[in-house]
Amino acid sequence: MVKQYLILLGFLLFIFAPLEVVKADSISNEEDYVTTQDIVSDIVFPSIDKRVMKEYGGNAATFGWQWERIVGMHYNRDHSYDVSIRIRVPDHSNKPFDYRQDLVKVRIYPSCDSPKIGCKHDFKIEILDYKHLSQ
């Protein structure tokens, strides 16, 4: 008798228990993928843009400069980061579709007010060095 009740209870639970089917959609949108380079690029882009305009005289050709890659990243004791970035600047004076390679060294100071770490500064970005790798 108990066996029949257990079978009946199991059958009722099976019928009334919510059976959920989850459909997982694969997302193949590459724009959602974020890397360290994407984050650093968004942070330092305006500062590098101003410096490229200053280096090349602000002509229209410099508007097409491209981020190539991060060459190096170093953490400093004052809670700042030195980031070396290689960029490509269009050189329309020689040949069409020719580029100059430059190296920009940027110091990023994230906002910090911590007695534990010993830092107290607001968010700031400095261009430390700008080198023309190709002439």
Supply the pTM of this predicted model: 0.66
The answer on pLDDT for 27 being more than 70 is no
The answer to whether residue 14 is domain-embedded is no
Domain that includes residue 54, residue range: 36-132
The answer to whether residue 23 is domain-embedded is no
**One-letter amino acid of 36:** T
pLDDT of res. 131: 92
With contact defined as beta carbons under 8 Å apart, do 101 and 87 qualify? yes
The answer to whether residue 6 is domain-embedded is no
With CA atoms as reference, report the closest residue to 69 among 28, 105, 37, 115.
37
Task: Please give the tally of structural domains in the chain.
Answer: 1
Which of 2-11, 17-26, 96-105 has the weakest average pLDDT? Answer: 17-26
The answer to whether residue 63 is domain-embedded is yes
The answer on pLDDT for 28 being more than 70 is no
In this predicted model, what pLDDT tens digit does every residue of 34-78 receive, in sequence order?
777 788 888 888 888 888 888 877 664 556 788 888 899 999 887
The answer to whether residue 102 is domain-embedded is yes
The answer to whether residue 22 is domain-embedded is no
Question: Angle 118-120-124 (CA atoms, 0-180°, nearest 5)?
Answer: 125
The answer to whether residue 19 is domain-embedded is no
The answer on pLDDT for 20 being more than 90 is no
In this predicted model, what pLDDT tens digit does every residue of 63-117 receive, in sequence order?
678 888 889 999 988 788 999 999 988 876 666 667 889 999 999 988 888 788 7
The answer to whether residue 27 is domain-embedded is no
